[in-house]
Amino acid sequence: MNPAPFLILETGRPVPSLRRYGRFPHWIRVAAGLEEHETVVVDVEHGDALPDPRAFAGVLVTGSAAFVTDHADWSERSAAWLRQTVHAGLPVFGICYGHQLLAHALGGEVAYNPAGRESGTIELELQPQAAQDPLFQGLPQHFAAHATHLQTVLRAPDGAEVLARSPLDGCHAFRWGRQAWGVQFHPEFATHHMRGYVRARADCIGRHGGCARSIERAVSAAPLARQLLRRFVRQARLSSAQPAAKQG
C-alpha cells in the first residue's frame, strides 16, 4: 500500500525572474525530498477547491506576495480550512505567507513588521523550548536561514510555542499543538532563489534603508534551515503510520 501523499497549498507564484525554476510546490518538493507523485498541489489563490485533509499525510502551505491582512476570500477560506485541519490533528507546515496564515487561522495577530522589511540570509536564534521540539531539536542555537517579507506574526496564537526569532522578527517559527508549525523564513530557498528575490525586491529594500547589493553579496547557503522540510516529512509519516500500527 502506497503511503498517503502530502498536500501543498499553493498561495502564490515566485517573482517573474525566478519562474524558470518552477513554482513554489516544486521548490518545496526538491527541498523536502518528495517526488511529484508523492504530492498533490491545490492552487487556492486561483480558486481550486480545498480537499478532505484526511486523505493526506500532511499539509505544506507556500509563500505568496499576497498579504494576510487583505483578507482575500480565497485566503480566508484557506484559513478556515487550516483551522479545522489543525484541530483534527493533521501535520501542517506553513512557510512565510503560510506561517502568517496559520497564525491568523489560530487567532494570532499578523501585521506589517514594525522593524521593516527583512531580506537575505539571516541568523536565527532558537528559543529554549525548541530543544524539545520534534523538528528543531538538535539544531544549534544560531543558524542561517533565507527570508524575504514585509508582514509578520506580531503575536503568536494562544497556546503556541515560539521556537525561533531573528534580530528583526520575534516570531520566526512557532508550533501550535503537537504538529502544526509555521516558519517565517524560507527553508525551500536555495541561494539562487534568495539572490533572485533580493534583486527583485531591491527598490523596496532601499526604501526600508537597506542595500540590496550588500544583502545579495552576503547570501550564503542555509542547509540547517533546509533540513526542516525533510524533518517535517519524516515526522508526518511517523504520525500517519501510528494509527495503522495500533490497528495491526
- Say whether 188 is catalytic: yes
| 36 flagged as catalytic | no
Helix (H) or strand (E) holding 174: strand 169-176
Alpha carbon distance, N-terminus to C-terminus of the chain: 14
Instruction: Dump the DSSP string for 6-52.
Output: EEEEE-----GGGGGG--HHHHHHHHHT--GGGEEEEEGGGTPPP--
Residue among 10, 45, 118, 188 flagged as catalytic:
188
Query: Of these residues, 96, 118, 149, 216, which one is catalytic?
Result: 96
The Cα 220–Cα 216 span in angstroms is 9
Burial of 65 (0-12, 13-18, 19+ CB in 10 A): middle
Instruction: Mark whether 211 is an active-site residue.
Output: no
Give phi and psi for 40, each to the nearest 5.
-125, 130
CB 93 within 8 A of CB 137: no
Q: Which residues are catalytic?
A: 96, 186, 188
